[in-house]
Chains A and B, each alone.
Chain A
Amino acid sequence: MSFDFSPIFDRWPMLLSGALMTMLLATAATALGFVIGTLCAVGRNSSYRAASAICAVYVETIRNTPFLVQIFLIFFGLSTLGFTLGAVTVAILALTINVGAYTGEIMRAGFNSVHSGQWEAAECLGLSRLQTYWHVVLFPAVERVYPSLTSQFILLMLASSITSQISVPELTGNANFIQGVSFRPLETYLVIGVIYFALSVVMRQAFNGIGMLIFPRRRRLGTAL
């Protein structure tokens, strides 16, 4: 058995552009998914029955179906309805919808972990419920669940490989192409496996860095995130 990596390394620009596309998908879906998830957590905890029901249905639908099926449904569903969106746009949309549901559950746990005394103090000062979320609860909640959020968003980055199924030129998609023309599947997937690993490490470090920046209390206390 002999390994030959040269046909893969020769195509490094494709690997690079694939990795960049993967990071683009991950970053966009992380940012959008965090917003969706947070709103969803607020909605699910809300006393408006309709809002909490809609959020619950959304979360349970997404969490109990495979991502591949979700992305196909969105991809073919949109085109059947006459929307012609690019594959990348559809991928970001699908990833956002997917990670939004998981983030919603994480954020809900975060909101619920904030001591009832904090809610009460805000209420007694006259703050509305939304003002309390925004000024009082959001920050400590995110701080509390930050490690879970980090893991979720790294999972999202890895799951973005599935978008190769709708021809998004991300890392896995490009690898599929490379192995097809080089007839070196094992080497190809070994290489992108290592690249994914590196991207995960980079992402974790980035999240740690951001955490240290936005949570000065952690920094002062010197507690790791």
Chain B
Amino acid sequence: MNNATENKPVIVLRDVEKSFGQVKVLHGVSFEVQRGQVTVLIGRSGSGKSTALRCIDRLETVNAGYIEVCGHVVTDPALELRKLRLDVGIVFQSYNLFPHLTIGQNIMLAPRSVKNLPKTETVELARACLEQVGLGDKFDAYPEQLSGGQQQRAAIARSLAMQPKVMLFDEVTSALDPELTGEVLKVIERLAAGGMTMVIVTHEMNFARRIADQLVFMHQGKIWEKGPGAILDAPQTPELQRFAAQEL
């Protein structure tokens, strides 16, 4: 790999616009994420954070603008979705584990049927990923037998098993009580320390400030400020000022 590609941002959003019917939700959103960088999207409910995240994984198609992820031009209608999804892992607030499969089967499903890895290899992979999120003993458990925090960590392990280059997290702790939130955040922090490129949407301001290499503040579908965690302490715009005053 030469320097030019190494320094290229892994994720690029340029002037992204998105409407649902008549309602415009994203008004020209632009930001970049470098390799190994953790970007945290913050903002009030309804400000368009989830929509922006979903556009990155082509779960929504944009109306205008340009998105590139790991060299895939997401906004190209001819994009091969499968190739994008191989490079991007995403975890949602509602864990979305498959209830009829054990945790082990949940994790092994995609590596087996999408990557066609042999069974023995996927078993090892699943065990390793479960170790990584501290659930080494839950291989044979069913999702309903796990606490919310454990289910969310299992969902993270399921994404990691595809060995993505980028991880997206959408309010992964919002359904959890504080105690369980901590264990999930710890897993994400370990990933960050391991150099994973991530975009995180969260309402946990202390966590955001701690983990973010780049904070992006959204309000009414626009980005008002972006920069290191310190922007929270010295907001330049009244919007962020008000948000910070409320949340911190």
Chain A residues in contact with chain B, CB under 8 A? 115, 117-118, 120-128, 131, 135-136, 139-140, 143, 217, 220
B-side contacts of A117, CB under 8 Å: 92, 94, 96
A-side contacts of B57, CB under 8 Å: 124
CA distance A175 to B199 in the complex (A): 72
B-side contacts of A125, CB under 8 Å: 85, 109-110, 114, 158-159, 162
Contact flag A123-B85 (CB < 8 Å), given A135-B109, A135-B113, A217-B144: yes
The contact sample of 8 A-B pairs, CB cut-off 8 A, is A121-B96, A123-B85, A124-B59, A124-B85, A124-B88, A125-B109, A126-B162, A217-B142
Q: Contact at A120–B59, with CB atoms within 8 Å?
A: yes
Q: Contact at A127–B113, with CB atoms within 8 Å?
A: yes
CA distance A46 to B110 in the complex (A): 22
Q: Contact at B100–A143, with CB atoms within 8 Å?
A: yes
Closest to A139 in B: B100
Q: How far is the CB of A208 from chain B (nearest CB, A)?
A: 19
Q: B242 within 8 Å of A by Cβ?
A: no
Q: How far is the CB of B84 from chain A (nearest CB, A)?
A: 9
Q: Contact at A126–B100, with CB atoms within 8 Å?
A: no
Q: How far is the CB of B230 from chain A (nearest CB, A)?
A: 33
Q: Contact at B99–A126, with CB atoms within 8 Å?
A: no
CB contact list, B87-142 vs A, under 8 A: 88-90, 92, 94, 96-100, 109-110, 113-114, 142
Q: Contact at B86–A118, with CB atoms within 8 Å?
A: no
Q: B82 within 8 Å of A by Cβ?
A: yes
Contact flag A126-B92 (CB < 8 Å), given A118-B98, A217-B100: no
CA distance A220 to B144 in the complex (A): 11
Which residue among A125, A135, A140, A143 has the maximum number of chain B CB atoms within 10 Å of its CB?
A125
B-side contacts of A115, CB under 8 Å: 96
Q: How far is the CB of A108 from chain B (nearest CB, A)?
A: 19
Contact flag A120-B96 (CB < 8 Å), given A125-B109, A135-B113: yes
CA distance A186 to B152 in the complex (A): 65
Q: Contact at B98–A127, with CB atoms within 8 Å?
A: no
Q: How far is the CB of A22 from chain B (nearest CB, A)?
A: 33
Contact flag A140-B99 (CB < 8 Å), given A125-B162, A126-B86: yes
Q: Contact at B109–A126, with CB atoms within 8 Å?
A: no
B-side contacts of A122, CB under 8 Å: 98
B191-231: contact bitstring with A at CB < 8 Å (1 yes, 0 no)? 00000000000000000000000000000000000000000
Q: Contact at B90–A124, with CB atoms within 8 Å?
A: yes
Q: Contact at A120–B92, with CB atoms within 8 Å?
A: yes
B2-30: contact bitstring with A at CB < 8 Å (1 yes, 0 no)? 00000000000000000000000000000
B-side contacts of A120, CB under 8 Å: 59, 92, 96
Q: How far is the CB of B143 from chain A (nearest CB, A)?
A: 10
CA distance A122 to B106 in the complex (A): 10
Q: How far is the CB of A127 from chain B (nearest CB, A)?
A: 6
B-side contacts of A139, CB under 8 Å: 100
Closest to A220 in B: B142
Q: Contact at B98–A136, with CB atoms within 8 Å?
A: yes
B-side contacts of A140, CB under 8 Å: 98-100
B-side contacts of A217, CB under 8 Å: 99-100, 142, 144
CA distance A126 to B57 in the complex (A): 11
B144-167: contact bitstring with A at CB < 8 Å (1 yes, 0 no)? 100000000001001100100000
